[in-house]
A and B are shown apart, each in its own frame.
Chain A
Amino acid sequence: MRLQISHLNFFYGAKQAVFDVNLKIPAHKVTALIGPSGCGKSTFLRTLNRMNETIRHSRVSGEVLLDGQDIFRMDVVGLRRRVGMVFQRPNPFPKSIYDNVAYGLRINGYKGRLSDLVEHSLRRAALWDEVKDYLQKSAFALSGGQQQRLCIARALAVDPEVLLLDEPCSALDPVTTAKIEELMFHLKDSCTMAIVTHNMQQAARASDFTAFMLDGKLIEHSETSKLFTTPQDPRTEAYITGRFG
């Protein structure tokens, strides 16, 4: 297991958003988190690289082990290098395509040939062929799908073990979405991924395991093929067949 989460609780002030979640995220697999809006899935995802810590009055309890190490005792910069994140809306820096990818390497004091690693990262994100002749152009000149893949390349540049994807395709068209899903499939060789998605077809297509959350609680977790054909909990059944509420 790459990540082992035990009895995880998360509070926004007095309001508890995640309740006693226990989940194992296996290495080199994609784990999808599904559930209705406000069920705590994004909050849960952000806990995995401590992105929530910046929120005032927030509090976390429980344990998250990354390769057996407690993430709450790690240096947070080191943790986020090992556990990268891609957000719903592409958020490239106001810099060139090249500098976007090189940014993380520079601040981590990378000593090798930057251009090699930039190319390698862009290739891994299936973007190289589209941008190789325009590396000095502004990242904002790219399309939405290209920007999202640039953000993935930026995250991949520092070679994370885990990639967290928070609805990475919700602002993209179906063709670009298919590219990102294909990319996720190929990235499994080198990376473990957890994806939050509202799109159940995407979870069904792109993930190996799926976890269903409701009201901050983990209701059911199993192989994706099993969860979408024979869910065990009636609440999961109600949600995925659209009879929820």
Chain B
Amino acid sequence: MERHWEHDLEELKQRILWMGSLVERAVHQAVHAVLDAEEHLAEAVLSEEDAINEMQIEIDERVQRLLALQAPMAADLRFLLAVSRINGDLERIGDQAVNIAHSAMRVLRHPQVKPYVDLPRMSELAEGMVRDSLNALVRGDQDLAQSVLQRDDQVDRLRDQLFRELLTYMMENSSVVFSAFELILVAKNLERIGDHATNIAEDVIYFVAGRDVRHPALDRR
């Protein structure tokens, strides 16, 4: 017989995954507003922001209630702590998507600086990290979570590459400074999304294996 407690945990898992799917869609739409010059996608991201924020509060309240009323232990406790932290990271990813959407609306008022090559690769990587970190949570798969951690460096390298390239465009032609600067902001936001996906993957490893891998240099376990 499934107990009430297990039902509550499953429901919480479904809610965090639902929030994850809202956030994933927001990131995808925001980036494609820039890449495909589709302003309506940016508007869709802005209109969904409240829904994501409401989900954050709802999930927080569920976690608080379960912690207070059930006094969970072991894997259940680790799951709730992980969900609480993941919830914060997802909401921040939602904010990064909103930032990108704002950049998109500004950048679309100007001619395109250059063909987009690294930006789609970067967004694909960052979106994949978010998706896989959440898949790792669903499956309790610490290997998948570990693979997310390893991808963060690639995102950082692409950001550096984009920064360098856009700087040269700005130095060569001051009329593109505005657009290029917005694209730098987009790249910065994508890089932060990768960081949040990394945090989520670390929380999944904590939940699954009880290992805190956030600061390897500290070597606590």
Question: C-beta contact mask, B9-37 vs A, less than 8 Å → 1, else 0?
Answer: 00000000000000000000000000000
Nearest Cβ in chain B — how far from A181, in angstroms?
Answer: 15
Complex: chain A residue closest to B6, CB-CB: A243
- Determine whether the beta carbon of A228 is less than 8 Å from that of B75: no
Selected interface stretch from B41-49, B56-64, B66-74, B187-195: B66-74
Contact of A201 with B74 in the complex, beta carbons under 8 Å: no
- Chain A 95-136 interface mask (CB, 8 Å, partner B; 1/0): 000000000000000000000000000000000000000000
Q: Which residues of B contact A240 (CB under 8 A)?
A: 73-74
Chain A proximity of B31: nearest CB distance (Å): 38
**How many interface contacts (CB-CB < 8 Å) are there between A and B?**
28
Q: Which residues of B contact A229 (CB under 8 A)?
A: 73-74, 77-78, 210
Secondary structure of the B contact surface, majority rule: helix
Partner of A237, one of B3, B5, B71, B75: B75
A183 at the binding interface (Cβ < 8 Å)? no
Flag whether B76 is at the interface (Cβ < 8 A): yes
Complex contacts, B73 vs chain A, CB 8 Å: 200, 204, 228-229, 240-241
Q: How large is the interface on A (under 10, 10 to 19, 20 to 34, 35 or more residues)?
A: 10 to 19
Residue of B72, B73, B77 ringed by the most chain A CB atoms within 10 A: B73
A242: interface (CB < 8 Å): yes
Shortest CB-to-CB span from A103 to chain B, Å, is 39
Interface flags for B68-96 (1: CB within 8 Å of A; 0: not) read 00011111111000000000000000000
Chain A residues whose CB sits within 8 angstroms of the CB of B72 once the complex forms: 241
- Beta-carbon contact of A241 and B71 below 8 Å: no
Closest chain-A Cβ to B174's Cβ sits at a distance in Å of 57
Judged by a CB distance under 8 angstroms, whether A230 is at the interface is: yes
A200–B78 CA distance with the chains assembled, in angstroms = 17
- Taken together as a complex, chains A and B put the C-alpha atoms of A231 and B210 apart, in Å, by 9
Q: Mark A196-238, 1 if CB is under 8 A from B, else 0.
A: 0000110010000000000000000000000011110000110
Q: How far is the CA of A229 from the CA of B80 in the complex (A)?
A: 12
Q: How far is the CB of A244 from the nearest CB of chain B, in Å?
A: 11
Question: Inside 8 A of B76's CB, which chain A residues have their CB?
Answer: 241
Tell me, in angstroms, the Cα distance from A242 to B66 when the chains sit together. Answer: 14
Chain B neighbourhood of A241, CB < 8 A: 72-76
Q: Which residues from chain A contact B210 at a C-beta distance below 8 Å? A: 229-230
Closest chain-B Cβ to A131's Cβ sits at a distance in Å of 33
Residues of chain B with a CB closer than 8 A to A201's CB: 71
Is the CB–CB distance between A231 and B74 below 8 Å?
yes
CB contacts (< 8 Å) of A204 on chain B: these are 73
Contact with A along B194-221 (1 / 0, CB 8 A): 0000000000000000100000000000
Beta-carbon contact of A230 and B74 below 8 Å: yes
Leading 7 A-B pairs by shortest Cβ distance = A230-B210, A240-B73, A241-B76, A237-B74, A228-B73, A241-B74, A240-B74
Enumerate 13 A-B pairs (CB-CB under 8 Å) in ascending A order: A200-B73, A228-B73, A228-B77, A229-B73, A229-B77, A229-B210, A237-B74, A237-B75, A240-B73, A240-B74, A241-B73, A241-B74, A242-B3
